[in-house]
Amino acid sequence: MVRQEAQGLVEDAAPARPDRRLRLAQVAPPIEPIPPRGYGGTERVVDELTRELARRGHEVVLFASGNSAPPGRLIETVPQALRGQGFTGDASPWFSATLLQVLRHQADFDLIHSHLDFHSVLLGRVAVTPVVGTFHGRLDMPFAASILSDGPAGLVAISHGQAAQQPAVPWAAVVHNGLSLRQMPFGDIRDGSLAFVGRVMPEKGIMDAIEVARLTGRTLRVAAKEPWLRDEIAYYEDVFMPALSRADVEVLGELGPSDRDTLLASSHATLVPSTWPEPFGLTAIESLACGTPVIARRVGGLPEIVREGVDGFFGDDAPAMAARIDSVEGLDRAAIRASVLERFSVERMADGYEQVYASILSTGQPAAAQLAR
């Protein structure tokens, strides 16, 4: 069960699980294939969750682009993922097409699990089949409160920090993201460089990462998503590229999983200098799984991942983060890895969602809503 305490929703140690095999729909955005070929945080989580639920015996159907490769049945929502086609327009019609495709098949499922963020609210309102909607993005926009106030019972946040941005929402649960992390490389072969993995956009703090590299005299290796939207392209060309001369920066492009893992495992530390309320932080858990400490801002869900002085350090700006770079030498990298493998496993994530599924199906509303009455 999910119980409610003064500081928000928390997960019980022994969650309830469905007492039968479920027919589940997992609904992915049409932007990237499942699994993604390179960048794609939401898509990687959807892929991992789909595979783990199928392994547990549930009948899972994935709604995603036609070039996806799920473990079971795929219902195509768009022939090819939009970003791979070079699509840069308004994706809203494709999200609407995804919703319509799900509604056509809703009678085939016990429960629909949508990963479409705010589009999940509409789906939950019009679908007859129960809907769980996980939010993977930011919730601090001015329109968020009015939309979420009309949401279905099964809204899920991926961190307490994210849920706290909308405290009036009766969240069904907070379920931290999880990944299959045991295969992440771990060893003693590291250089003195710093790693940055993510989007080259202001909210990800790439300019601060470059400044940390300049202040510390270390090489910054950047594995960045290829820009595809107009604002991303403009920022990349007009802000990021001219800043490369300020420090020793190696731009690696958008790496595949193996190369990305090698980058994290071989680095002195990973920088996560986000300037926005980071909903979670997949790069942080991947880095820690390699035993590589994280230097970050204390924003959003990151304090739920990085334990100060154990897994890394926090700093409010580039100079403060730079001042902690040498301190990571004293951290126990093996202990860092062992902890994150337990705290953010795909098994624990699936446990959390099975708890939500069981609660919604047995009561029609989440346990948190029951307790609030």
Helix (H, G, I), strand (E, B) or coil at 113: strand
Is 314 a residue whose pLDDT tops 60? Answer: yes
Does residue 331 sit in the same domain as residue 361? no
Strand (E) or helix (H) holding 225: none
**Domain containing 9 — which CATH number?**
3.40.50.2000
Query: Which is more confident, 257 or 86?
Result: 257
Q: Where does the pLDDT of residue 15 fall: very low under 50, low under 70, confident under 90, or very high at 90 and above?
A: low
131: which strand partners? 112
Helix (H, G, I), strand (E, B) or coil at 332: coil
Task: Centre a 10 Å sphere on the Cβ of residue 112 and count the other Cβ atoms it contains.
Answer: 27
- Residue-wise pLDDT tens digits, 78-120: 999 988 777 777 888 999 999 999 999 999 999 999 999 999 9
- Report how far Cα 196 is from the mean position of its chain's Cα atoms: 16
pLDDT score recorded for residue 152: 80
Strands 173-174, 154-157: pairing kind: parallel
Q: How many domains does the chain have?
A: 2
Q: Where does the pLDDT of residue 367 fall: very low under 50, low under 70, confident under 90, or very high at 90 and above?
A: very low
pLDDT score recorded for residue 316: 97
The rounded distance, in Å, linking the Cα atoms of 143 and 157 is 17
Q: Where does the pLDDT of residue 20 fall: very low under 50, low under 70, confident under 90, or very high at 90 and above?
A: confident
Query: What average pLDDT does range 323-349 have in this prediction?
Result: 97
Q: Look at residues 151, 145, 153, 149 and name the one whose alpha carbon lies nearest to residue 172.
A: 153
Q: Where does the pLDDT of residue 42 fall: very low under 50, low under 70, confident under 90, or very high at 90 and above?
A: very high
Q: Where does the pLDDT of residue 190 fall: very low under 50, low under 70, confident under 90, or very high at 90 and above?
A: confident
Does residue 16 sit in the same domain as residue 111? yes
Q: Say if 61 falls within a structural domain.
A: yes
Statement: the pTM of the whole predicted model exceeds 0.85:
yes
Q: Say if 371 falls within a structural domain.
A: no
pLDDT score recorded for residue 365: 55
Backbone angles phi and psi of 222, in degrees to 5: -110, 115
The rounded distance, in Å, linking the Cα atoms of 289 and 257 is 14
Tell me the two tokens of residue 60.
Answer: 């899972």
pLDDT score recorded for residue 288: 98
Does residue 139 sit in the same domain as residue 212? no
Is 206 a residue whose pLDDT tops 50? Answer: yes
The rounded distance, in Å, linking the Cα atoms of 206 and 200 is 6
Output the average pLDDT for the chain: 91
Does residue 217 sit in the same domain as residue 162? no
Q: Say if 311 falls within a structural domain.
A: yes
Q: Where does the pLDDT of residue 125 fall: very low under 50, low under 70, confident under 90, or very high at 90 and above?
A: very high
- Report how far Cα 370 is from the mean position of its chain's Cα atoms: 28
Looking up tokens 């920090």 gives 161
Does residue 287 sit in the same domain as residue 337? yes
The rounded distance, in Å, linking the Cα atoms of 175 and 160 is 9
Does residue 121 sit in the same domain as residue 236? no
Q: Where does the pLDDT of residue 35 fall: very low under 50, low under 70, confident under 90, or very high at 90 and above?
A: very high
Does residue 296 sit in the same domain as residue 316? yes
Residues of the chain above pLDDT 70, percent: 93
Does residue 349 sit in the same domain as residue 339? no
- Residue-wise pLDDT tens digits, 151-187: 788 999 999 999 999 999 999 999 999 999 999 999 8
Q: What contacts 149, CB < 8 A, 6 or more positions away?
A: 168, 169
Is 7 a residue whose pLDDT tops 70? Answer: no
Q: Say if 142 falls within a structural domain.
A: yes
Q: Say if 63 falls within a structural domain.
A: yes
Does residue 166 sit in the same domain as residue 289? no
pLDDT score recorded for residue 149: 86
Does residue 138 sit in the same domain as residue 213? no
Does residue 215 sit in the same domain as residue 172? no
Q: Say if 187 falls within a structural domain.
A: no
Q: Say if 147 falls within a structural domain.
A: yes
Q: Say if 52 falls within a structural domain.
A: yes
Query: What average pLDDT does range 219-245 have in this prediction?
Result: 92
Is 16 a residue whose pLDDT tops 90? Answer: no
Identify the domain containing residue 316 by its residue range.
194-343
Query: What average pLDDT does range 40-60 have in this prediction?
Result: 96
Contact 353, 132 (CB under 8 A): yes
Query: What average pLDDT does range 217-245 have in this prediction?
Result: 93
pLDDT score recorded for residue 369: 38
pLDDT score recorded for residue 238: 96
Give the sheet arrangement for strand 312-314, strand by strand: 249-253, 220-224, 194-198, 269-272, 294-296, 312-314
Does residue 258 sit in the same domain as residue 133? no
